Structure 1
């Protein structure tokens, strides 16, 4: 089964652009994954848009999870998920093509949770998450991080700006 590339900008009922959110796989500390929901409100199995870099992180986390699912990118950029019978009793695969902006709509394969402070996290994960959450803030309002964590903060902010097509950049 191939999931077609998302070809419309996600918008809630009032027409305003959706905000970037942070996700994790249900009951895990993977991520945080910076994504743009395709629905508002979103459900646990709904697809969200992710950059190639975040999609690669999701694939790496699948390798560590030993859940019977794996992912890889084909030369044309398609992301292919494959899973074993042990994963769901059937086994299968799904291909996800990037949209015109290089974002991947990933969903329906596992349950998403919102990333939050109740999730055990490293200092690096926390800095990355705060950077993503503060992607719309002017420089003087951003949380300062010491050297070593400042790069992770900047990467989180850049992921949020990239997936949102640089909306909110100051």
Structure 2
């Protein structure tokens, strides 16, 4: 099965959706900066992610040894997920083709959860998440020098995901 990411998702009135922070349900992975493709989503909904975040998701899956792996095609950039019977009882593959902006529509293979205070996190994860959450703000949260780059990375990841569109 192959999925192709849609264009920038919007509300019914054309207003762009905001980024959200995700983790894999029951884990402390992430935060993954994602763009929901609808105003209401479920744990198995697909969300848009940049290539950098898709790579992080794949790395975390490989560390988890959950029976699900991902690999990028060097020529096309397509991301193929492969899973064993241990993962879902049947096994299979799914290929995600990046959209024209290099974003990947990922979901349906494991349950997403919102990344937040109920998830154990490090100071670095918090700085990254705050940067992503504040990507549209003109005032920024200040962190000690060791964490400033993570805050900046979070802001940049959110900007890259939304194609630098300014939301109202």
Q: Tell me whether the two structures share a fold, i.e. TM-score over 0.5.
A: yes
CA–CA distance in structure 1, aligned partners of residues 113 and 59 of structure 2: 18
CA–CA distance in structure 2, aligned partners of residues 83 and 77 of structure 1: 19
User: In structure 1, what is the equivalent of residue 150 of structure 2?
Assistant: 152
CA–CA distance in structure 2, aligned partners of residues 60 and 106 of structure 1: 14
Q: Report the TM-score when normalising by structure 2.
A: 0.96
The root-mean-square deviation of aligned C-alpha atoms, in Å, is: 1.1
Q: Deviations over 1:28-84 (max 9, x none)?
A: 110000010001111111110000000000000001111100001012100000000
User: In structure 2, what is the equivalent of residue 115 of structure 1?
Assistant: 115
Q: Report the TM-score when normalising by structure 1.
A: 0.95
Query: Is there any run of 5+ residues in structure 2 with no aligned partner, and where?
Result: none
| C-alpha displacement of 1:154 | 0.4
User: In structure 2, what is the equivalent of residue 32 of structure 1?
Assistant: 31
Query: Is there any run of 5+ residues in structure 1 with no aligned partner, and where?
Result: none
Q: Is the counterpart of residue 42 in structure 1 residue 57 in structure 2?
A: no
Q: Is the counterpart of residue 162 in structure 1 residue 153 in structure 2?
A: no
> Which consecutive aligned stretches of 4+ in structure 1 deviate over 3 angstroms post-superposition?
none
Count of residue correspondences: 166
